[in-house]
Structures are given as C-alpha cells and as structure tokens.
C-alpha cells in the first residue's frame, strides 16, 4: 500500500556525528534522501574527525540516546532504523531495548568498531558481547566488513569461503540476514569485489566490478543507510514485514547506487574522498 498523498516515510539513524560529513549520521542522511526517505538522526557518539582521520570519540550517555531515538519513533513515521557507531556497552543495550518495542520496524545494524584512519575506537571492546547477544537478534540485516565479522566471531575472515561461514554463524546469533562486505576479501587485484549474503537458509554471492580508486570515507555506513532508506521507502508501509525477496531487492538496489557513487567519489580536501548522490 502506498503512502497517503502528502506523507513521507522516515528513516532513523542512530550513530555517530562526523564533523567532516563523510561518515556517520551526515552520510546516513544523504543516503536516506537518495533512497526516497526523510532522514532523522539520534546521536550516540560525538567524534573529532575529518576526511584525514579519526582523532577522538565520546559516547553520549545511554539515557540521552534512548530519549532522542524514542521521541522520533513515537511521533514520526519511522519505517526503518539504521544503527551505526554506538561507542559504549550501555548504548548497545539501550538501543537494543528500545528497538524491542518496535518489532515491525526493519533494522539495519552496521556498528563500526575501528576507523579506516585513526586509533580511537567507535565501539568499546567490552561492548562486543552485548552487540552479539542483545542487538544482533533485533536486526533485519547486519552489515559487517571482514574485520568486524572476525571480531564478532573471534576468528579471522580473510577469504570468500570464510565469509560464507561467518555470515552463517552470525545468522545463528539471531540476525535475520547478514551481509559480509567483501571489498578486502581475496586478491586486491581481482576483477570482482564479492559480498556474501546469508538469508533464509541460503548464502548468496553479490559481485561487483572492483574499482581502482583513492581511499573513500564512510563507504560502510553509506551502504547500510541506502539499504535502510530503501526499506523505509517501500510501498508496503507501516507494519508490513519485509520479506526475503524485498530485502534482497533493497540490498541489490543499494549496491548499484553505492557502486556508482564510489566511481565518482569527490575530493573535499584533507584526505579521503567522500560519496555524493
């Protein structure tokens, strides 16, 4: 069922503030708009960073994070949630508890742990258990890179075959579907980048032409937000469960848009390039 005339679906990002705009909730909001959703954001982490790298991270108190997100969920037409950097164990638990009250809203979980450049952690090491036990079971889709999958499973993920095993193992932790992003899997000069999706008891490889480009900031959070935005903007609307076919379609759409944006990533100064739509 289509949205009523004059109404717009919302997508809510819960994550980190990147002052440079390349990643975090600034990137989330651009991706939501590209997918046709009105973007909302609750700040869980404040960072000092730019396209040159991450300098420091400060987690917002869990009570404030839950209050921000809860206000939007109660009063706006939120049709999907994207969870990004949460910083602390308390924030992981608070967000998981909040989302438990909205089981009909699809949730895309993409919680970065370490930055591409910089040493500050975006998720405390002691928060991993809470992430596995409380937040992943709330997820419609979990998106992780090879290093993040390895950290969650306490074993390395270096090949496409190991990504298959990792995706299955993470689904067993309770997530409905898992996408292991394969940009760093296999030979760096291979013709394709292979993402591995576990869903509905099956594992699917999603291939894209490998691009030879300068480093780009915020690629992971942007892909997850494109998927969440697409889920928010789907015609079925509130209360309609996302079926496997619809989820795969949203992922494939997001990968196409993401790949095109990667190919035209722009230089805004100071370091890595950024994605624009």
Domains and CATH numbers, the chain: 10-263 (3.40.1190.20)
Phi, psi (deg, nearest 5) at residue 231? -65, -40
Q: Please, which residues have CB within 8 angstroms of residue 103's CB and are 6 or more apart in sequence? A: none
- Res. 3: pLDDT tops 70: no
Kindly state the average pLDDT of the residues 13-37. 97
Q: Is the torsion defined by CA of 68, 69, 73, 78 positive or negative?
A: positive
Determine the Cα–Cα distance for residues 277 and 268; give it in Å rounded to an integer. 14
Number of other CB atoms surrounding residue 141 within 10 Å: 25
Task: Name the residue with higher pLDDT: 269 or 41.
Answer: 41
Determine if the pTM surpasses 0.85.
Answer: yes
The pLDDT value given to residue 1: 41
Determine the Cα–Cα distance for residues 4 and 224; give it in Å rounded to an integer. 27
The pLDDT value given to residue 238: 65
pLDDT (tens digit per residue) in 167-185: 999 999 999 999 999 876 7
Closest by CA to 196, choosing from 214, 217, 171, 173, is: 171
The pLDDT value given to residue 115: 79
Q: What is the dihedral of CA 127, 73, 200, 113, to 10 degrees?
A: -30
| DSSP-based three-state secondary structure for 145 | strand
| HSE toward the beta carbon, residue 95, CA cutoff 13 A | 37
């Amino acid at each position: 069922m289509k949205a009523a005339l004059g109404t717009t679906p919302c997508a809510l990002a819960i994550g980190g503030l990147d002052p440079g705009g390349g990643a975090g909730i600034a990137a989330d909001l651009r991706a939501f708009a590209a997918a046709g959703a009105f973007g909302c954001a609750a700040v869980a982490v404040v960072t000092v960073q730019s396209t040159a790298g991450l300098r420091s991270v400060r987690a917002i108190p869990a009570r404030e994070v839950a209050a921000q997100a809860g206000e939007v969920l109660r009063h706006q037409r939120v049709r999907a949630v994207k969870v990004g950097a949460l910083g602390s164990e308390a924030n992981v638990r608070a967000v998981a508890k909040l989302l438990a009250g909205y089981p009909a809203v699809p949730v895309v979980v993409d919680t970065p742990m370490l930055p591409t450049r910089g040493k500050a952690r975006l998720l405390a090491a002691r928060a991993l258990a809470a992430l596995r036990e409380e937040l992943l079971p709330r997820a419609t889709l979990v998106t992780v890179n090879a290093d993040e999958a390895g950290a969650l499973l306490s074993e390395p993920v270096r090949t496409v075959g190991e990504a298959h095993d990792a995706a299955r193992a993470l689904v067993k932790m309770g997530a409905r579907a898992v996408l292991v992003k394969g940009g760093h899997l296999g030979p760096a000069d291979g013709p394709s980048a292979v993402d591995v999706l576990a869903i509905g008891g099956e594992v699917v490889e999603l291939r894209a032409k490998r691009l030879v480009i300068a480093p780009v900031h915020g690629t992971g959070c942007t892909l997850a937000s494109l998927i969440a935005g697409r889920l928010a903007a789907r015609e079925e609307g509130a209360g309609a469960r996302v079926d496997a076919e619809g989820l795969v379609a949203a992922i494939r759409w997001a990968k196409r848009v993401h790949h095109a944006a990667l190919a035209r990533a722009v230089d805004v100064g100071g370091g890595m390039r950024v994605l624009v739509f």
